[in-house]
Amino acid sequence: MMSEKSKQHVESCRFCWMCHHICPIGNATGLERNTARARALGLSLVNRNAIELSEVIDNVYECACCGACVHDCTTGWDPVMFTKEARLDAAMEGVLPEYINALVDNCLETGNAYGVTELDGALVSEIEKHADKKDVLLFLGVDARCKVPVAAVNAIKALEKANVEFSVLADEPASGWQLEYLISAANETKEQMEACAKVLNDYAKVVVFDPQDAKVLKREYKEWGVEVNAEVVTYTSYAAELLANGKLTAVNCGKEMTYQDPFQLARDLGETEEPRKVIAAYADLKEMLCNSGDTMWAGNLLMKEWMADVIVRVAQARIRNAKGVGADTIVTASVSEYASLKAVDQDEVKIVSIEELILGA
């Protein structure tokens, strides 16, 4: 069922090692199977009817889809494209791994892959303060609401500090990013996106806290013909705007901090300068190797559901990168990467989020 375009990319990638060094999963595990080339080899055998898709589907879900391989490829091949097509094929053929099926079922039943049905009490209290309808909506996302409520609370409080009038939804719809990652362009994914767009269209501006949501709202929705009439902006760009117009004031603490670019912002949306403007207002910015569009992924909460040990190693590698440039603090703009980095058992490098920085952490 794979498209001819993806088959062409599979056949090209299976001969090539050129992105071998840039894969965060491959670097963390040290296994050849976790490279784009190895994934292409397996899918090439499937396309030739030599093996079944079910024989390599676990390997297909060992990809972060972070796009480092695509960004690094000088010849324009796209392993993320054929990886996502393989996932859609697996869903259509009924050969998804059971651990993925469970997450998909949760998305459809509860709106989040984790199956969470009740929010943290402190977050509920903060949301209730912003129940009135305003022109601006703060869209928190499933990771912040369900797994890292402290990040959601701080995101709200940082905007309160700027005296912004905004709404937060008690029953926030899923943006569809989790289904997009798990089963790609399935009907269920588009239906979830359309339901979300219908809610967002009641607002003039939507400030998207999580880069994973921002990516699908600003890019995939357009590609899939899902229309959002509201102006969609990232939380980091909105914070930079609030600083620029004086609604947020900052005092530089003089500490050296480094920034962990989320690939969704840096590579998919081309946003690299706005978060740096925010950090530079509060601290002295020191760049890590592999920054901006060349960023290295630092892990996420969704893949932790089936690759927890690998996610720890991915985060550990990024902390080593920060230590390598002498930075003692990593600033994140991603809920998932914040949680992944914070989960590493170490006390040499502080992990601080953009919203914590604004609040004076």
For residue range 155-206, list pLDDT tens digits in order. 999 999 999 999 999 999 999 999 999 999 999 999 999 999 999 999 999 9
How far, rounded to the nearest angstrom, does the alpha carbon of residue 213 sit from its chain's CA centroid? Answer: 7
Distance CA(276)–CA(181), nearest Å, equals 28
Distance CA(256)–CA(282), nearest Å, equals 10
The residues facing 351 across adjacent strands are: 330
Q: Label residue 17 by pLDDT band (50, 70, 90).
A: confident
Alpha helices in the chain (DSSP H): 4-13, 24-29, 36-47, 57-60, 68-72, 79-93, 98-110, 121-128, 142, 149-161, 177-183, 187-200, 211-215, 221-223, 235-244, 263, 273-282, 301-324, 335-342, 354-359
The domain 121-240 is classified under which CATH number: 3.10.450, 3.40.50, 3.30.70, 2.60.120? 3.40.50
| pLDDT score for 114 | 98
Contacts of 157 (CB under 8 A, 6+ apart): 126, 355, 359
Distance CA(278)–CA(247), nearest Å, equals 13
For the residues 319-333, what does the mean pLDDT come to? 95
| pLDDT score for 361 | 58
Residue 49 above 80 pLDDT? yes
Per-residue pLDDT tens digits for 104-142:
999 999 999 999 999 999 999 999 999 999 999 999 999
| pLDDT score for 20 | 86
Distance CA(128)–CA(245), nearest Å, equals 28
Helix (H, G, I), strand (E, B) or coil at 118: coil
| pLDDT score for 97 | 98
Distance CA(239)–CA(230), nearest Å, equals 18
Percentage of the chain beyond pLDDT 70 is 100
Per-residue pLDDT tens digits for 266-324:
999 999 999 999 999 999 999 998 999 999 999 999 999 999 999 999 999 999 999 99
Q: Which of 98, 94, 95 is nearest to 57 (CA)?
A: 95
Question: What CATH number belongs to 249-359?
Answer: 3.40.50
Residue 230 above 80 pLDDT? yes
For the residues 211-231, what does the mean pLDDT come to? 97
Distance CA(173)–CA(192), nearest Å, equals 8
**What global pTM score does this model have?**
0.96
Residue 257 above 70 pLDDT? yes
| pLDDT score for 1 | 76
Q: Which amino acid appears at position 63 of this protein?
A: C
Distance CA(298)–CA(295), nearest Å, equals 9
| pLDDT score for 18 | 87
| pLDDT score for 99 | 98
Domains 121-240 and 249-359 fall in the same CATH topology: yes
Could you state, in order of their start, the residue ranges of all structural domains in the chain? 4-96, 121-240, 249-359
Q: Which amino acid appears at position 146 of this protein?
A: C
Distance CA(236)–CA(242), nearest Å, equals 10
3-class DSSP string for 155-203: HHHHHHHCCCCCECCCCCCCCCHHHHHHHCCCHHHHHHHHHHHHHHCCC
